[in-house]
Amino acid sequence: MNKGVVELALLSILRERAHYGLEILDRMNGEVGLEVADGTIYPLLHRMETGGFITSEWVIEPDHARPRKYYALTVQGRAELRAMATEWRDLSKRINALVGKAGPEKE
C-alpha cells in the first residue's frame, strides 16, 4: 500500500468536514477500497496531527453516548492536500497515457 495514497485519501476525506477515526477508516475502505488496517489509521492520524496537517477535538454528540475524537484539516493540511492532489493528477495523467499507448491486452 502506498503510504502517500492513504495520506491523500485521508486529507481529501477531511476536506469536506471533520470526521472521527472509524468514520475515516470506513470511508477509506468502503468508498475507496484501500484496505487500510484498523491498527494503521490511528497512528497515521496521530502522525499527521503531529505534523500539523490536521487537528483533533473530543466531541460529545447529542445522539451518541460516548465522546468521539474528531479530526479536521488545518491551513497547512489544505496546502498539503493541494500539493498532493496536483502531484496525483500529474501522475495519473502520465500513467493513463502509458496504459493508453500499450493498448488493450490480447488474449
Partner 1 sequence: MTQKEHPRLAAYARELRWALSALPDADRDSIVDEMRSHVLDRVDAGASVEDTLAALGPADDYASAFRDAYTVATSLSSGRTPHLLGALMRNVANSVSAAVAGIVILGAWMFTLMIGNVALLKISDPAHVGLWKSDHFFFIGIIDDPSTGRELLGPWLLPIALASLVISLLLTRWLAVWALRRIAPRR
Which positions lie near partner 1, rule CB under 8 A?
20-22, 37-40, 42-43, 46-48, 50-53, 56, 58, 66-69, 76
Phi, psi of 76 (to 5 degrees): -65, -35
The 8-class DSSP code of residue 69 comes to: E
**Closest distance between partner 1 and the C-beta of residue 99, in Å?**
27
Give least dist CB 33 to partner 1, A.
17
At residue 56, the 3 state secondary structure works out as strand
Q: Is the dihedral of CA 46, 20, 25, 27 positive or negative?
A: negative
Query: Is the Cβ of residue 23 or residue 102 nearer to partner 1 in the bound state?
Result: 23
CA dist., res. 19 & res. 90, Å (int):
28
Q: Which is nearer to partner 1, 4 or 93 (CB)?
A: 4
Q: Find the shortest distance in angstroms from Cβ 68 to partner 1.
A: 6
Rank residues 12 and 40 by Cβ distance to partner 1 and give the closer one: 40
d(CA 77, CA 91): 21
Choice between 65 and 98, CB closer to partner 1: 65
